[in-house]
Amino acid sequence: MGSRSPKINHHQHHHRHSYSLIQPQSILILVLTHPLTMSGLFARQAWASASKLRSTALRAPKTAFACKVNSIAPRRCFSVSMNLLARKYTESHEWVDVAADGKTCTIGISKYAAEALGDVVYVELPSQGEDVSEGDSFGSVESVKSASDINSPVSGSVVAVNDPIVDTPADLGKDPEGEGWLIKVEAEDVSALDSLMDEAAYAKHLEEH
């Protein structure tokens, strides 16, 4: 047999070459654009998977944006609450806290006043339901050394009285700015407290006097 060149089927060679250029991305595009060009179960499954991926990608930015917005709100609310609940002091050494409701005020005497009084032997306080006026005396404290009136920093109605302190006056000196609170008042207007001193200003006031 003589040697002869192999016969090249140009059409078949061209078809094989063209098919090798099709990348996986191209198959995905074909599936997304022309699902009917692929037949059978494979085409339907590929189309369903691609649609699911596309739907998930479109939803992702919305979820991230929602989390970003919600993360800001708690910090903003927290800063407002801290300003509202800041303790204030009077020049006559009473302290007052405003509750989260913006109107209930807890009133007592400062640690400095309790130390100046010494051992307390008697505490007089108003009854629940009585009215108090801003700047006026609502009770008194007596010790072995002296006696002192207690003035209200706000006007309003007494809603609670610390009866254990009345029963055991000596306990007032143990925690005058905590468990030793005296009365709680539902204030008519808490804006009267704006002119009072915060903790830092009160500390400076004590140093100067």
Q: Considering the entire predicted model, what is its pTM?
A: 0.61
Residue-range definition of the domain harbouring residue 117: 87-208
109 and 203 co-located in one domain: yes
* More confident site: 50 or 208: 208
Using an 8 Å Cβ cutoff, are 152 and 138 in contact?
Answer: yes
Phi, psi of 112 (to 5 degrees): -60, -45
The verdict on 108 and 192 lying in the same domain is yes
CA distances (Å), origin 69, targets 62, 74, 75, 79, 138: 11, 10, 11, 17, 48
pLDDT tens column, 167-197:
999 999 999 999 999 999 999 999 989 999 9
- Please give the pLDDT value at position 69: 37
- What pLDDT, on a 0 to 100 scale, did the predictor assign at position 209? 84
Classify residue 77: in a domain, yes or no. Answer: no
Quick check: 86 pLDDT over 50? yes
Q: Are residues 166 and 103 in the same domain?
A: yes
Same domain, 65 and 98: no
